[in-house]
Amino acid sequence: MTGARNGRQYLSDLRDGREVWLGSERIDVAEHPALAGSRSGMAGYFDWQHAHADECLMRDDASGALINASHLVPRTPEDLRRRARAFERLARYSMGALGRTPDYVNVTLAGFVGRPDIFGMNGDTRAVDALSRFQREVIERDLSLTHTIVHPVVDKALTDVEGINGEISLRVVGRNDHGIVVRGARVLATLGPFADELFVYPGQPLPKNADPAYALAFSIPMETKGLICLCRDHYGTDGATVDRPFSSRFDEQDAFVIFDDVEVPWERVFIDGDLKIYNAIMRSGWTGNVMQQTTIRAAVKLEFAYELATRMVAAQNAGARPDNQQMLGEIWCYASMARAALRAAEADAHDYGAGLFLCDDRPFRAIRSMMPRWMARVNEIVKLLGAHNLLATPEAAAFDTSLGDALRRYLPGAGDMPAEERAALFRTAWDFVGSALGGRNELYERFYLASAARTLALNHMLAQREREWNDVPEFIERSRS
Ligand SMILES: Cc1cc2nc3c(=O)[nH]c(=O)nc-3n(C[C@H](O)[C@H](O)[C@H](O)COP(=O)(O)OP(=O)(O)OC[C@H]3O[C@@H](n4cnc5c(N)ncnc54)[C@H](O)[C@@H]3O)c2cc1C
């Protein structure tokens, strides 16, 4: 039993021969020089959990070891508050820039373990036991999980598993004594190359008449034979962290994933061809569960953006301009609405079944659709407020050269702000919103919880089902008399 790992342990576990491609090269993620910053950024997360053990870690009842608090299966309001403290501190490691820190998928796994009634609804308890044993392994080895939950839809006029879509989507192609054999692809595993395990589970329901071969949930180690990780271009940079505080450490690296006849052992198979379970699982509290973590991360990021933007305005002594005040006030609104949604969701938390106590998902459903716009707008505001300042920013080391005096003279901030401080501030802002990683992060915020287009339509569909507001006929009737 290892319990919560530190950065050194995390890095040594990366050496496992997994098949990762970057550009046209098969690479070793544990060694490739371009990934050095991201590797140490991820290792830093594991050290951070120990540095803030009071908030991030808890004592495991079964083993007595210290483990990440995101593994808690919440049964009470106190459980929700306990893990929220961990999410908050863990989000602060990257100020919300890392979307797929391991606590994210740990929360999903805990939510699944808390619903044996769903995973065992066909009367077979094999999957329920397998899930519990899998969580124990993740807890004890402090494995970092990523997930792929989206089918690679080529033709959007068809369902996810029809025609060409069905030919490339992940499905079962064989079964034997050891397990199932799967073939196909999934988008898009954030953290894929740096994770220990790939967790595959449903993102959207499948049509009732879909081929059950597509109804799958399982987890496999990244080094599993036949699993191919195809990285997008890497946006991590080398150089001093003060110059590029996000891209020097926090490119979490997304990857398209191909399963080339991969064997998944039975002990890691959680859904095998059961459409009823597959379609029930995302309606059994997933949003109310995982969005406690994602909303805390988003709130931390928005609060950071507000403070960053405010300091950028102060560095130009431009705080008296009404347009600047309005834009800063706008970011504050987004941050405060994120916090308000969180509080509302926690206040109305309830038992979703089997004693699993999770946040109310309605406030989360609302901000799930709005947050992508807020995040994109915040990035726009940072660019509008920063203007040329975002690009007239020497590296920290340039101040130690023969150019140093000229840089101090020509590039100070307003109000006696030293040039070094001004440069670090605007470089942080550019790396946050405008660098290659900043651009990718905006795309992440837009899509990682499905597109807003899809979730807005889903909100309407669910609201019609819940039918909470029904005053119009009564009001019209009353108006008649
Ligand atoms: C940086 C990044 C990281 C990601 N990480 C992960 C991950 O770790 N794991 C994972 O499983 N997935 C991940 N994803 C994938 C993500 O889940 C999908 O991108 C997401 O579900 C959206 O699917 P899509 O890209 O096919 O876009 P769509 O949902 O098809 O949306 C694309 C556009 O099509 C239009 N559109 C779509 N549907 C409708 C509609 N019904 N009505 C009107 N217009 C519509 C909208 O304009 C929308 O913006 C990631 C994506 C990104 C960008």
**Helix-, strand-, coil-residue percentages of the chain, each rounded to 5:** 50, 15, 35
- Rounded to an integer, what distance in angstroms lies between the CA atom of residue 12 and that of residue 424? 33
The CA 447 to ligand 1 mean position distance, Å, reads 5
Instruction: Name which of 163, 157, 262, 169 is nearest 213 in CA terms.
Output: 169
Q: What is the pLDDT along the chain (481 residues), one digit of tens a residue?
A: 689 999 999 999 999 999 999 999 999 999 999 999 999 999 999 999 999 999 999 999 988 999 999 999 999 999 999 999 999 999 999 999 999 999 999 999 999 999 999 999 999 899 999 999 999 999 999 999 999 999 999 999 999 999 999 999 999 999 999 999 999 999 999 999 999 999 999 998 999 999 999 999 999 999 999 999 999 999 999 989 999 999 999 999 999 999 999 999 999 999 999 999 999 998 899 999 999 999 999 999 999 999 999 999 999 999 999 999 999 999 999 999 999 999 999 999 999 999 999 999 999 999 999 999 999 999 999 999 999 999 999 999 999 999 999 999 999 999 999 999 999 999 999 999 999 999 999 999 999 999 999 999 999 999 998 888 889 999 999 999 8
In a mutational test of the pocket of ligand 1, which residue from 104, 150, 256 has the highest number of ligand atoms less than 8 Å from its CB?
150
In this structure, the residues whose C-beta lies within 6 A of any atom of ligand 1 are 100, 146-150, 153, 187-190, 203, 254, 440, 443-444, 447-448, 450-451, 453-454, 457
The CA 200 to ligand 1 mean position distance, Å, reads 17
401 contacts: CB under 8 Å, gap ≥ 6: none
Q: Does residue 49 contact residue 68 with C-beta atoms inside 8 Å?
A: yes
Task: Report the first-to-last Cα separation within the chain, whole angstroms.
Answer: 73
- Rounded to an integer, what distance in angstroms lies between the CA atom of residue 351 and that of residue 364? 16
The CA 187 to ligand 1 mean position distance, Å, reads 9
Residue 21 identity (one-letter amino acid): W
pLDDT of residue 1: 66
Residue whose CA is at the smallest distance from ligand 1 atom 16: 448
Q: Does residue 37 contact residue 240 with C-beta atoms inside 8 Å?
A: no
> What structural domains and CATH numbers belong to the chain?
7-281 (2.40.110.10), 286-466 (1.20.140.10)
In a mutational test of the pocket of ligand 1, which residue from 101, 147, 454 has the highest number of ligand atoms less than 8 Å from its CB?
454
Q: Does residue 393 contact residue 426 with C-beta atoms inside 8 Å?
A: yes
**Alpha helices for 392-435 (secondary structure H):** 404-410, 419-433
Residue whose CA is at the smallest distance from ligand 1 atom 47: 453
- With 0-12 / 13-18 / 19 or more C-beta atoms within 10 angstroms meaning exposed / middle / buried, residue 255 is buried
The pTM (predicted TM-score) of the whole model is 0.97
**Residue whose entry in the numeric block shows the structure tokens 């309407």:** 460
